[in-house]
Structure 1
Amino acid sequence: MRPLHLIVASVTGASFGINAVKYAVPALLALAGSSASQIGVFAASVTAAWPVLGLFAGLLLDRSSKLGVLRLGEIIAAASLLFLVALYATSALALALLCVAGFAIGAAEVLVDTSSQSILPEIVAKRELRSANSLLNGAKTVGVTLLAPVLIAALVDIEPLSALAVAALVLVAAFAAILRLKGQAAQTSAALRFSDLTSGLVFLARTPVFPGLTLVLAVMSIAWGGWFVLIVSYVISDTGLGLNATAYGSVVTMLGLGSLTGAFAYGFLQRTLGTRPVLMLDVLGTILFHAVPASGLGFIPSAAAAYLAGIGGVTWVISVSAYQQATVPGAMLGRLVASYRWIGWSAFFTGSVIAGPLADNLGFSGAFTTFALLNVVLLIAFPFVIPKSQILDEPLAT
């Protein structure tokens, strides 16, 4: 089995287990009658790992084994799942304890996500980076946002413990896959120096294109963080659509189906439209999947909007990841990726924090509308933030 395929299998399995927790716990809270603000507290505990640990993860990747960091993330994810199983088995599902597990699962996501992006240039040639990123993101889409939401949500409706057990089994399989990879992407470099912690941010700020990409990511991430908090309450609560956890999982699965479509169609879209218009698809999708539920159009239109948002989301990830991997020196790549995601996912944390209070005070329509309008402003500003002279296609052709 090729190293790329082992990486893809392991990262997909690990991401499935991590996101199973992110789907299961909010659904359990919503079914128990928790408010949007309470669900937002748990979501914030997960995303808080990015502002707290994101920069350190990048430094760790550039100063140690990328493969070792990936394995560490999977171990932390497994330990977090075991802790949640213990909480459920002892009926100790207090919000504070759930947030402890949430932060740990978020830390695992930081390590798995940053290492998976940094490791690809060490196992594939530059000309294969777009196809490798398409494969990785397509596989993650199938596991994380296509199968996991509907499967985990359906199991939550039947027996929550079975949902956590399935996630744990998939994590074990993911770790077994990565253990088969020996001697690949496991080189060590200079000693760990905390004085280098902000060097990725400095590099990002001084390099053309990256500041604009990071700003756009941050604004969109506020809306995405808000959507994942709002959608579970909107679908399940009596003040929203009044459906069940399976319906919530189905909406997120439509997001994943869109991502899968985007992963397979990426080559065609990039060749036909060019990279900058492809990047704008994500902004348009972000507006749409807030505007539709804000309009009160119901379950099916909301699911369709999530599908279109999924197409935009994955095309953004593939474009930016390939550009980063092709243009950033290997010794700096981990810190650059971590800095980019640290800013973007810290904004995701912001969206998670403010979504609940917005819904409690403005209602679901007002909360969704707020996030949609934020990204309308971003769409208007997009040509100025990422001007036409900054073509993202060129570095991959050299």
Structure 2
Amino acid sequence: MVQTPAARTTAASPALGGRYWVLLTGSTLSSLADGSFKVALLLVAKATTGSPALIAGVSFAATLPWLLASLPAGAIADRGDRRRIMLAANIARGVLLAVFGVLCVLRVDSILALYLVAFGAGVAEVFYDTSAQAIVPMIVERPLLPRANAAQQVADQAANQFAGPALGGILIGIGAAVSSFTSSGLWLLAVAGLLLVRGTYRAAPQAARSTLRADVAAGVRFLLRSRVLRSITLRVGMTNFAGSAVTAVFVVYAVGRGSVLGLSPAGYGLLLTVSAVGSILGGLLVAPLRKWIGDRGLMTANIITQALQIGVPVIAHDAVVVGAAFVIGGIGVALWNVSVVTVRQRLTPPALLGRVVSAYRLVSWGAMPVGALAGGLLAEVMPIWGVFALMAAVTLGALFGTSSWSAARIASEESE
């Protein structure tokens, strides 16, 4: 790994360092824009069409890039300057949402336009998120990674899942154009924050690089050789498939007259924010819980809490009860995210991290568009609660095979 002298000074410090907090501020603004944008897009889709399958198509388009672009994004993150890739991705999203805002002003109502915007923003998200995870170990030293990842989790959930959905629900009530321009402005503010992060963040010198195809293959091989990472990847693929199937049609269950919950767009955004309350709480609880039950316990807890969050709407048709389940699910998400990111950073050489993250997400996040498509199609032929029940069962199925996440196994692979 090649760092600037300033970067090495930060890594040697017992503190996370000023540049980490500047990076976190920019990432938080980006997460706020993302959370607002995604909720608003689904609400616009519901106002445009009453078909659950077409509405779910927005989630499919937004997550499809994880199947199509994750592997090359990882290789590019390991070849290029990770900060510059993040800057380019946020500029692209800011410009795209500004263009969409103009279309909204011109009253161009098209489900196809929603799909194109969702897909374009999704491609930028793939490159941004892959580089964002790979850059953290270049700024903070290895023993501080759990702390840095926990702070990132709290900030991301507060912005992406708490403030973002609430903001999106409120703004869409004012107008789709206002919502789009706001998200565009937030992404461009995030660009300004990232410009303040000094240093060069390239993983390897130019002479050490091979072809893009060989780079991608090296990341995939490393992931497949690791029993720990391979097992985690498969199980998060199952839970993300189920969660995405539910998320893609939840707006039909929750919003408007005739829906089960009968919420307004603002009420829907507020309901989604309570998951972030749990995630923020979970981020604060990671350190003590990790000492008590270890990384395997934290990750296993997430599977159980996600099944609860998905399954409660089957039997409870009250927004308060559903919201309580979302809080519990949010706690599990935080426990999972901090643990998995930290384990992956511990087991992966820095020069390979971008490619391993992308190979992991090809399966884990690539399952999301497939889940969104499945959720939409299932909702056309069965009750919404039936989709929820089926996906809760799929989530619980991920409990099998978690023995490979033991502390001894993780330590063994780390020492190899």
Query: Does the CA contact (< 8 Å) of 2:274 and 2:323 recur in 1?
Result: yes
* Equivalent residue for 2:132, pick from 95, 102, 116: 116
Q: How does 1:276-291 map to 2 (within 5 A)?
A: 276-291=296-311
How far is the alpha carbon of 1:136 from its aligned partner?
1.1
1:77 and 1:192 map into 2 onto residues whose CA distance is: 30
Q: Hey, what's the Cα distance between the residues in 1 that align with 2:303 and 2:160? A: 21
> What's the counterpart of residue 229 of structure 1?
248
Cα gap change, 1:397/1:189 in structure 2, threshold over 3 Å: closer, same or farther? closer
Residue 376 of structure 1 aligns to a residue in which SS?
helix
Structure 2: 5+ residue stretches without partners: 1-16
Secondary structure of the equivalent of 2:283?
helix
* Deviation of 1:35 (Å): 2.1
* Residues 15 and 109, structure 1, Cα contact 8 Å, conserved in 2: no
* Partner SS state of residue 263, structure 2: coil
1:391 is displaced (CA, Å) by: 4.3
1:276-315 alpha-carbon deviations (Å, 9 max, x no partner): 1110111011111111111143211111111111111121
**Alignment partners' CA distance in 2, 1:58 and 1:389:** 27
Distance (whole Å) between structure 2 residues aligned to residue 34 and residue 165 of structure 1: 26
Deviation (angstroms), 1:116:
1.0
Query: Identity over the aligned pairs, expressed in percent?
Result: 24
Change (3 A) 1:163 1:268: same
- Aligned pair 1:189/2:205, yes or no? yes
Structure 1 equivalent of residue 8 of structure 2: none
Is 1:126 matched with 2:145? no
1:161 is displaced (CA, Å) by 2.2
Which residue pairs with 2:228 in the alignment? 209
Aligned to 1:76: 92
Shift in Å, 1:336: 0.3
1:66 lines up with 2:82 in the alignment: yes
CA contact (8 A) 2:66 2:366 kept: yes
What is the Cα-based RMSD across aligned positions, in Å?
2.0
Q: TM-score, normalization: structure 1?
A: 0.94
Match of 2:362 among 332, 338, 342: 342
The CA distance in 2 between the partners of 1:213 and 1:376, in whole Å, is 14
Say whether the 8 Å CA contact 1:261–1:311 is kept in structure 2.
yes
Contact persistence 1:288–1:372 (CA under 8 A): yes
Whichever residue aligns with residue 277 of structure 2, its letter is L
Range that drifts further, 50-59 or 227-236: 227-236
> Residue 94 of structure 2 contacts residue 185 of structure 2 at CA under 8 Å; is this kept in 1?
no
Quick check: 2:296–2:402 contact (8 Å CA) kept in 1?
no
Which residue of 1 is the match for residue 173 of structure 2? Answer: 157
Paired residue for 2:10? none
Query: Would you say the 8 A contact 2:242–2:391 is kept in 1?
Result: yes
> Equivalent residue for 2:335?
315
* TM superposition shift of 1:171: 1.2
Contact in 1 for aligned 2:36/2:166 (Cα 8 Å): no
Deviation, structure 1 residue 389: 6.4
Deviation at 1:377, TM superposition (A): 2.0
Q: State the alpha-carbon separation in 1 of the partners of residues 119 and 311 from structure 2.
A: 30
Residues 1:97 and 2:113 aligned together = yes
| Residue pair 2:222, 2:356 contacting (<8 A) in 1 also | yes
Report the counterpart of residue 257 of structure 1 in structure 2.
277
Kept in 1: contact 2:275–2:326 (CA 8 A): yes
User: Quick one: distance in 1 between partners of 2:365 and 2:283?
Assistant: 21
Q: Is the 8 A contact 2:101 2:176 kept in 1?
A: no
- In structure 1, the residue matched to 2:13 is none
Q: How far has the Cα of 1:376 moved from its partner?
A: 2.0
Contact residue 18 and residue 77 of structure 1 kept, 8 A: no
Shift of 1:16: 1.9
Q: Is the 8 A contact 1:10 1:178 kept in 2?
A: yes
1:267–1:220 Cα change, 3 Å: same
**Superposition deviation, residue 397 in structure 1:** 10
Specify which of 302, 322, 329 is matched with residue 322 of structure 2.
302
- 1:187 shift after superposition: 6.0
Structure 1 window deviating more from structure 2 (358-367 vs 25-34): it is 25-34
CA contact (8 A) 1:134 1:318 kept: yes
Between the aligned partners of 1:147 and 1:387, the Cα distance in structure 2 is 33
Q: Is the 8 A contact 2:219 2:356 kept in 1?
A: yes
Task: Tell me the amino acid that sits aligned with residue 380 of structure 2.
Answer: D
Residue 293 of structure 1 pairs with residue 313 of structure 2: yes
CA separation in 2, counterparts of 1:371 and 1:95? 26
Q: Number of aligned pairs?
A: 396
Secondary structure class of the residue paired with 2:300: helix
2:397 maps to a residue whose letter is V
8 A contact 2:131–2:354 mirrored in 1: yes
Name the SS of the counterpart of 2:197 in structure 1. coil
Q: C-alpha distance in 2, partners of 1:225/1:134?
A: 24
Q: TM (normalized to structure 2)?
A: 0.90
Check whether the contact 1:54–1:341 (CA below 8 A) recurs between aligned residues.
Answer: yes
* Structure 1 residues 300 and 16: alpha-carbon distance in aligned structure 2, compared to 1, 3 A threshold: same
Q: Does 1:178 pair with 2:194? A: yes
Give the 3-state SS of the residue equivalent to 2:398 in structure 1: helix
